[in-house]
Amino acid sequence: MKILVCISQVPDTSTKIMLENNNTAINNQGVTYIINPYDEWYALIRALELKESGTATDVHLITVGKANTEQIIRKALALGGDEAIRIDADSNDPYETASQIAGYVKSAGYDLILCGKESIDYNNGAVGAMLAELLDMDYIGFATDIQAEGDLVTVKREIEGGEETVTCNLPVVVACQKGVAEARIPNMRGIMAARTRPLKVVAPIAVDSVTSILSYELPPAKAGVKLVSPDDMDELVELLHSEAKVI
């Protein structure tokens, strides 16, 4: 079984985001980028576990981005991927991203495609479902456990109020979340090996974006903290009523 894992680059959650061009773009200067945690901690690690168990033979990684994303895909290789593909395109439109990946997959023949349930920057959660539609594959989202045997995959997924278990024929696209696998960090041997593993750069196909960013808006600054004496419960109640408006 050949597995493809979709990898996206996102800003580190500790990075302070600055806007530019009249709030229509993010200023990348000083921004630290990481692998999207849902892609790394869950989708990629589960793919590696399936390979280590003998269920899968190959784990390939794919990302859509320019040359500045190569350090991210190299880190994913260091964790244990066999080969990486970078589609040389830059877009924040999930349809274009899914279309670029689908264009490559159609000629590559993967049995299982894994991705995170969403990226932590735009939180669209749309690429996996769009990818499945473009490839005419089944799609299973919010996976918390993935087991594969032969031509079948069994997935436990989170639903409103509980969990459900579904079985489906390969090929299939599965979006992963917490519970699928335990996070791991690359070791020195993996980091060194990642420097020489294949990194294929693929020209993008022609795709018309269907969405565009009109503007960004930073969240409002946090208000200051008011300290109330533990002996003055009347003041606390008044503040909760008149300012916090929670009672």
What is the extent of the structural domain holding 17? 2-217
**In tens digits, what is the pLDDT along the chain, a chain of 247 residues?**
999 999 999 999 888 888 999 998 888 888 899 999 999 999 999 999 999 999 999 999 999 999 999 999 998 999 988 999 999 999 889 999 999 999 999 988 899 999 999 999 999 999 999 999 999 999 999 999 999 999 999 999 999 989 999 999 999 999 999 999 988 877 777 777 777 777 899 999 999 989 888 999 888 887 778 888 888 899 889 988 888 888 8
Q: What is the pTM of this model?
A: 0.86
Residue 14's CATH number: 3.40.50.620
Element (H, E) at 54: none
Give residue 2's Cα distance to chain centre: 20
| 45: in domain | yes
| 151: in domain | yes
Element (H, E) at 241: helix 233-242
Q: For residue 70, give both structure tokens.
A: 């190569």
| 235: in domain | no
pLDDT at 223: 74
Total tally of structural domains belonging to the chain: 1
| 9: in domain | yes
pLDDT at 185: 79
| 152: in domain | yes
| 185: in domain | yes
CB burial of 224-234 (b: ≥16 within 10 Å; e: otherwise) equals: eeeeeeeeeee
| 60: in domain | yes
Overall residue count recorded for the chain in this entry: 247
| 187: in domain | yes
